[in-house]
Each structure stands twice: as C-alpha cells, then as structure tokens.
Amino acid sequence: MNMASANGGTRERTTTPVLAEEAHASAIHADVVALLPDPASARACLDVAEDAARAIGGRMAAAHVGADPEAMIAAPEEIDLQMLRDLEEGSPRERLKHVEQSFEEWKRARTDREEILLDDCRGDLVRCVTSLCHDTALVVAPAHGNMDARDAFHDVLFNEGKLVLVPAAAGYSGHLLRHVVIGWKPHARARDAVVAARPWLAAAARVTVLCVNDKPDGSYQHTASELLAQLGLKGGVVAMSSENRSVGEAILDFAGSANATCLLIGAFKHEYFLELLLGHVTRYLLSYAAIPLMMKH
C-alpha cells in the first residue's frame, strides 16, 4: 500500500503504517540525518552520521530518497530519463531494497541501533530532500554514485543550503572529530560553514585552521583567529604556500601530514553550473579527499 505525501514524494509502507509514520517523524526531527540514495555508500553514511550525532549528544536518523517516475510531476523527457535508469540501476523499488539490506546489516551490528528506523521517500527527489532536511542541523550524504546520489547532494547543498558531511569515496575509518582541519579564506561561505559547524568543532579533540596562500598582511590568519575567538573555539592557525601545487592539492597534503580526520570548507565559489565548467578547489577535494568532507555553500 502506498501513502502519497504532501511533499510530492511517495512513502511506501514496507512494514506497518505506524512504523512508517514513526520513521518519518524521527527523520525530520533528527539533529543529523543520513541520506541513503545509493546502497554503495549507505554503510559509510550511516557510520559517519552516527559519530556526528554522538559527538554533540544529538539524535541521528536515516532515510532513503530516490526519484520515481510513477510519482513525479515532471517533463516527459525527465520521466523518460528516469525510466532508462532501470536498465542499469534497477527499478526504484529494487534500489530501495538494496539500501534496506545495507541498513539492516548496519543495524544488526550493534544492539544500541535497534531503535533507529529507516524512512523512505520516493517520487520528486527535490521535494523529498526538502521535507527530510529542512530542520536538521547536519546532512550526511554521498557526493558521487548513482543519479539519485548526485542529484540529492546538489539539492542539499545548493537548494537547501545545509551543512553537509560527505564520506570519502573509499569509506570511513572512524575518529571523525579527532582532528578537524578548516580550509580558510575570509569570505562569507567559509564563515557560514564554520558557524554552522560550531557544535562539532567544539566537540573536536583538535582543530586547525589552514590558510593557503595568505595575503602579505596576514589577513587570512588574522580573520581566522578572530572567528575562533568570536565562536569560543580553541584551535591553531597555520599558513602555508601552495607553491607549485593547486590549492586543493596543498590542502590534502597538509591534511595527510597532520593526520586530519575531517576537512571543513566553504563549498563552491560559484554557482553549481559554473562550477561544472570551472572545477576548482571543492570539486578537487570531493574527488580526492580520503577523509570526510564537511561543507556549506
């Protein structure tokens, strides 16, 4: 039995109506929500979300999101494109089934996960993401993978303007907040990212602000120190030159040498479609970072 939701998505009652409603209520009121559009990254997203929620004493939730042409109001071309996905990725129901399997395996691994439920929203992906992420403080989502994963990441970052935590493509090895490195440049996106991430920075064992290619007057370092003080955060401020490397390479080199466990940046200098053409630091870090990447546009 399907339950059509007001947000344009469809919530299929895979267990009971009560559990379906409870799972959705848990998701929309969580401090940290793990979006699971792609089974390949589901386990990493769940592990990262769990650590992020525990670090601030908050609640985590999990939700599968996916486009479903049968529940979409869209142009015929878009619906045709979504239907073509079935040949490579399986039907929306099959994709959900694989995510459910990953979730149940993760849940069975620890007894304290018994009360965590999996919400499911399929249909108009934009509306599903909005309904799930509107009130949450942090969204854990993959940046790569199937079409749902790429589209959901775009929606969370650019349309919802949320603080997003992206697991590395190779997976997650734990210790999320052992050493957070902040890639700093004095602009609004970077400041907004640090302010939004304050609860996690306050819980981190170590915080380092990295200023790459600072101005001669040291303005990057000065503004970084001022912001830490304003937010009541403790952390070191380090300046370095990128030399013959790109800024993205310099950041990852430093993160590796400093044993960083998470990177925080203000994401994307330009709007989304211009970034597709220009590339730049954020896209490089998303492609090559071996640790979770926290960001806000």
Question: pLDDT by residue (tens digit) across 203-238?
Answer: 999 999 999 999 999 999 999 999 999 999 999 999
- Is 90 exceeded by the pLDDT of residue 14? no
In CATH, what number does 180-296 get?
3.40.50.620
Give the whole-angstrom CA distance, residue 130 versus residue 198. Answer: 23
Q: How far apart are CA 174 and CA 50, in angstroms?
A: 10
Other CB atoms within a 10 A radius of the CB of residue 134 amount to 11
- Asked if 120 and 64 count as a contact pair (C-beta separation under 8 A), the reply is yes
Angle between helices 247-257 and 281-288 (to 10 degrees): 40
The yes-or-no verdict on residue 268 having pLDDT over 60 is no
pLDDT band at 144 (very low <50, low <70, confident <90, very high): very high
Whether 143 and 149 have beta carbons less than 8 Å apart is answered as: yes
% the chain with pLDDT above 70: 84
Band (pLDDT 50/70/90 cuts) for residue 271 is low
Q: Which of 189, 184, 197 is closest to 233 using CA atoms?
A: 197
Q: Where are the alpha helices (DSSP H) in the chain?
A: 17-28, 39-55, 76-84, 86-89, 92-108, 125-133, 147-154, 188-196, 198-203, 219-230, 247-257, 272-278, 281-288
pLDDT at 12: 47
Q: Distance (Å, rounded) from C-alpha 231 to C-alpha 269?
A: 24
Residue ranges per domain, the chain? Answer: 18-165, 180-296
One fold for both 18-165 and 180-296? yes
Between 127 and 87, the more confident residue is 127
CATH number of 18-165: 3.40.50.620
Q: What are the residues facing 216 on neighbouring strands?
A: none
Of the pLDDT bands very low, low, confident and very high (cuts 50, 70, 90), residue 91 is: confident
